[in-house]
Structure formats: structure tokens, C-alpha cells
Amino acid sequence: MGSRFLAPAGVIALVLLPLLLQAIDQAYYIGFAARILIYAMAASSLNLILGNGGMLSFGHAAFIGAGAYTVGILAAEGVASAWIAWPLAIGVAALVALIIGALSLRTRGVYFIMITLAFAQMMYYIFVSMKGYGGDDGLNLGSRSVVGYGIDLKNELIWYYVCLVLLLAVLVLLNRLVEARFGRALEAMRENETRMSAIGFATYRHKLVAFVIAGAIAGLAGVLLANHSSFISPKLMHWTQSGMLMVMVIVGGVGHRYGGLIGAVVLLGLEELIAEFTLYSQLGVGIVLLAIVLFAPQGIAGLFARSQTRHGS
């Protein structure tokens, strides 16, 4: 059965979910669901470079942080309009991705993993030392961004739908990119970069463009994350955040169309579920992850469909 019916069914389910939660008096979970959507966006952007591009970036949280801090700093300086702050934040994240990518893509393999990690750590420490904007303790935004037109982002239901619409837009964009010549070429570079370069593709530039697109989308996820909790802190850029995003992609399915979404749902859902029963939720998460690597190498999406990806490094 194709994803032809699966995708519309999924969208309908996501649209109806908050209404259902309200009906059964569990409105608390609407915010939780919005958080999952935001992480799904971040993980999907990572999946473009990690899954389709074969670039094992261990510093993706840096772009989330760039987006979140742009919104946060603007808010602290009195600019609350989403129409100014959000595009600017995405631009800043893209710029950061351009700089980090341009340097990191000169290396490959393990060195690429490590240098992206190092850049993310740099960002982390830079914001830890920025005492003017909260430093280690983080920064309270006070409120969510202002959109106008009668749309109040502070309303949890509206907020959920804003996140949903943006996530769907990102997923459509990413899918079209992957289906297009751009994505096909990217996947071919993952399999054999030398050959792609021999037949005339500018592989470095091509990969860098993918890296910047992924960074910009992660920046948008950062914008949403900052708004979601109205709070930012360097923890957004901590290396475990990058690790968690990687875990989401791998759990969901590397290079799979909905790998990021599935991964975010499974991982955050699992965390929440295990936290119901025990204080030691990370133990359960760790054991499940280990089991997935050892017994389901293709991720959860791969359990249902034969995944077409073989990622190299």
C-alpha cells in the first residue's frame, strides 16, 4: 500500500488530534503535541543532510539555537513582531549554517562528525558567556511573538495549528526537493561522490546548499521552540540535543520521507510514557534505542516498508 492514502490520513489525524484531546479533557497534551511537531521539523531537516546527503552532522542543534536566540534577543530588545523576527531568525540560522558548512564540508567521515560537533559546542559556550542575554540561566521571552490579523499565538490551539501548518509546509518542501533533480543528485553524491564530481556536478557546492537549507529549517524549528516555551537557554544547543535529533532520525528511518516525524513522535512519546511510570525515564529510552540499533537497523519506518536507503560514511 502506498503512502498515497497514508499521507492524507496522517494529515487528517494531526488536524483532528487537538480537537479530540479537548473533547476528552486532556488539553494539556495539545502543547506536548505541538512540541513533537516542532522537533519533527528539526529532525526532518537533519534527515535531508544526514539521510539523503550522507552528511553525519553532530551539530544540528547549533542552528536551532541560532534561530531561537535571534527571536529571543529581538524580543529582549523590544521587537516582538513575528513578521520581522522569524524571517530574520531563519536568515541568521542559514548564515550560521553557511559558515559552519563551508568549513566542515572540507573534511569527511569521522572528522566531519567531530568538526560539526565542535562548532555546535562553540555556539553553546558563546551563548553561555553572553551574560547580557541570560548566559547560563537562559532568557525569558515573556510572551510569544505577535502576528496580528487576530491570530493570537498564546492560544494553545492556534499555536498547535501554526506549528502544524509550518511542519506540513516544510515536509512538502523537503519531499519536493528530494524528488527533484537536486535531491537525486544529493543521494548520488552520498553513494559515490567521486563519480558525481567526474560527471560534472559541483559536489561541494551542492552539499553546502543542502546543508544551508537544512540549517535554515532547523532555525525555523528553533524559532518555534523559543516561542513554544517563551524561554531560551544554551541548553538548546547542548550536544545531547544534537544527539537526540540524530537519534530521532535514525529511529524514524534514515532518508525515509517521514523519518523525522516518526522519530520525533516515537522518541518524545516514549520519554513521556516512561516518565509516567518511573523517574528514570532515560534508562528506558536508552534500552529501547540500543535494541533498535541492534535489532532494527533500518529504523521504525524500515520495519514497515523496505527502505531504499543505504547510508554510507
**Residues of the shown chain interacting with another protein in the complex, contacts defined by CB under 8 A:** 50, 56, 58, 103, 106-107, 109-111, 113-115, 117-119, 121-122, 125-126, 128-132, 239-240, 243, 246-247, 250-251, 254, 280, 282-283, 285-287, 289-290, 292-294, 297, 311-313
Angle 244-248-249 from CA coordinates, rounded to 5°: 120
d(CA 215, CA 237): 13
d(CA 275, CA 272): 5
Q: Which amino acid would we find at residue 220?
A: L
Q: Which is nearer to another protein, 23 or 103 (CB)?
A: 103
Which run of H or E residues covers position 205?
Answer: helix 203-229
- Output the smallest distance, CB 114 to another protein, in A: 5
Residue 100 has, within 13 A of its CA and on its CB side, a CA count of 34
Q: Which is nearer to another protein, 227 or 242 (CB)?
A: 242
d(CA 271, CA 235): 18
d(CA 263, CA 250): 7
Strands 231-232, 139-140: pairing is antiparallel
Q: Which is nearer to another protein, 25 or 77 (CB)?
A: 77
Q: Which is nearer to another protein, 151 or 287 (CB)?
A: 287
d(CA 221, CA 35): 10
Q: Among residues 66, 67, 82, which one has the least CA distance to residue 154?
A: 82
Q: Which is nearer to another protein, 104 or 145 (CB)?
A: 104
- Assign 148 to helix, strand or coil: strand
- Output the smallest distance, CB 284 to another protein, in A: 9
Q: Which is nearer to another protein, 82 or 105 (CB)?
A: 105
d(CA 289, CA 71): 33
- Output the smallest distance, CB 111 to another protein, in A: 6
Q: Which is nearer to another protein, 128 or 262 (CB)?
A: 128
- Assign 31 to helix, strand or coil: helix
d(CA 312, CA 182): 19
- Output the smallest distance, CB 143 to another protein, in A: 27
- Output the smallest distance, CB 209 to another protein, in A: 21
- Output the smallest distance, CB 310 to another protein, in A: 9
- Output the smallest distance, CB 56 to another protein, in A: 6
Residue 20 in grid coordinates: 479530540
d(CA 227, CA 63): 15
- Output the smallest distance, CB 260 to another protein, in A: 15
Q: Which is nearer to another protein, 193 or 220 (CB)?
A: 193
